[in-house]
Amino acid sequence: MAKMTLNADQLACLASPARNEVLTQLRGMGQGSASEIAKALGKKPEAVHYHLKALVAAGLALVAYRRPAPKKPESVYKPIGTALQLPPANAGPEIAALARKAVRAGFAATARGYLAAAKMAEEDPVVRSNMHLIRANLRLATEDAKTFLSLIEAANIFASEHKSEEGVRLIWSSAVYPPTANRQKPRAKSPDPKPRA
């Protein structure tokens, strides 16, 4: 699976929750017009078209072709890159800040989507049967942690290799990270108190 490392312009583009959501929808569809993406997202086509233009300018999407439409030809877009990846965490402070913003925007869209699906699942057994949520706080041996991460990557590769036009469409977001809230910097040793005379 070919991976495309996101650059600063692409990260800045994806720091917008709306653009992040439009790209996620386009990637799930494979290709689509502004009106088709807007319908799937419950948004206005004009707003989606605006975000698609920004995604094209950033090199995250392109116009695949134009097709006839009642008023004027309609652009059909497709995403660029089969898999997107963040630049290395040590790529510099500006890139790191943009990457964090893009990730935050992506997870905001994930949360909105999950909550909307959870509401539908209250009455729709099909939606309910295709939802899954795991949140874990794990402590693994170093080798087991590597295996765990490789299993997540293997699941992503499996899903990419088994795409089906007729299948169930799912959105999957995954984040694994070491906890930082309780990490403390090593305290400097205080000098030994002077002995009292």
Separation CA 29–CA 179 (nearest Å)? 35
The domain made up of 3-130 has a fold known as: Arc Repressor Mutant, subunit A (1.10.10)
Per-residue model confidence (pLDDT) at position 58: 96
**Which residues are within 8 A (CB) of 64 and not within 5 positions of it... i.e. 6 or more apart?**
31, 76, 77, 78
Computed on alpha carbons and rounded to an integer, the radius of gyration of the chain in Å comes to 22
User: Poorest-confidence range of 1-5, 101-105, 156-160?
Assistant: 1-5
Sorting pLDDT into bands at 50, 70 and 90, what band is 104? very high
**Residue matched to tokens 């293997």:** 154
What does the domain layout of the chain look like in residue ranges?
A: 3-130
- Mean pLDDT taken over the chain: 87
**Which residues are within 8 A (CB) of 91 and not within 5 positions of it... i.e. 6 or more apart?**
99
Per-residue model confidence (pLDDT) at position 187: 53
For the residues 10-15, what does the mean pLDDT come to? 95
For 165-188, b/e burial (b = at least 16 CB within 10 A) is eeeeeeeeeeeeeeeeeeeeeeee
**Residue scoring higher pLDDT (67 or 180):** 67
Per-residue model confidence (pLDDT) at position 192: 55
For the residues 78-89, what does the mean pLDDT come to? 87
User: Poorest-confidence range of 5-19, 66-80, 143-157, 182-196?
Assistant: 182-196
Per-residue model confidence (pLDDT) at position 31: 93
Q: What is the pLDDT of residues 21-63, one digit of tens each?
A: 999 999 988 899 999 999 999 899 999 999 999 999 999 999 9
Q: Encoding tokens for residue 2?
A: 């070919």
Sorting pLDDT into bands at 50, 70 and 90, what band is 180? confident
**Residue scoring higher pLDDT (191 or 89):** 89
Pick the closest to residue 51 from 37, 69, 70 (CA basis). Answer: 37
Q: What is the pLDDT of residues 110-119, one digit of tens each?
A: 888 899 899 9
Residue 79's SS3 state is strand
